[in-house]
Amino acid sequence: MPLIPKTFFCKLLGCTWQHHVDDPKTVWTASKNMCELEQESGEEPRFFQRCVRCGIEREWDTKGA
Ligand SMILES: [Zn+2]
């Protein structure tokens, strides 16, 4: 195991971002029998980026990308 923490490279070189999308539609299908959860159907998918090294997340501005 390397002694240098992964975050060291992030501070040095910057984070390596990878795009992710959390689609709430795929989340609540497991509980489709519960009527209350239908309220969440209008929820927008969440776009975010995650660093492949340190794993921190940040919002992904789809307009700016
Ligand atoms: Zn990072």
Q: Render pLDDT for 14-40 as a digit per residue (tens, 0 to 9).
A: 999 999 988 766 555 545 555 555 555
Out of 14-18, 21-25, 41-45, 57-61, least confident range: 41-45
Whether the pLDDT of residue 57 is over 60: the answer is: yes
Identify whether 53 is part of a domain.
yes
28 Cα: distance to centroid of ligand 1 (angstroms): 30
Across the chain, where does the E strand assignment appear? 17-22, 46-51, 57-59
CA of 41 to the centre of ligand 1 (A): 32
| Inside any domain, residue 29 | yes
What range defines the domain where residue 45 resides?
9-59
Task: Supply the pLDDT for residue 36.
Answer: 55
Inside any domain, residue 36: yes
Task: Tell how far the Cα of 56 is from the centroid of ligand 1, in angstroms.
Answer: 6
pLDDT at 18: 93
Any residues with CB less than 8 A from the CB of 57 and at least 6 apart, and which? Answer: 20, 48, 49, 50, 51
Query: Ligand 1 centroid to 26 CA: how many Å?
Result: 27
In a domain, 37, yes or no: yes
Q: Cα separation of 19 and 10, whole Å?
A: 17
- The structural domain count of the chain equals 1
* pLDDT above 80: residue 7: yes
Distance 33 CA to ligand 1 centre (A): 39
Predicted pLDDT at 21: 87
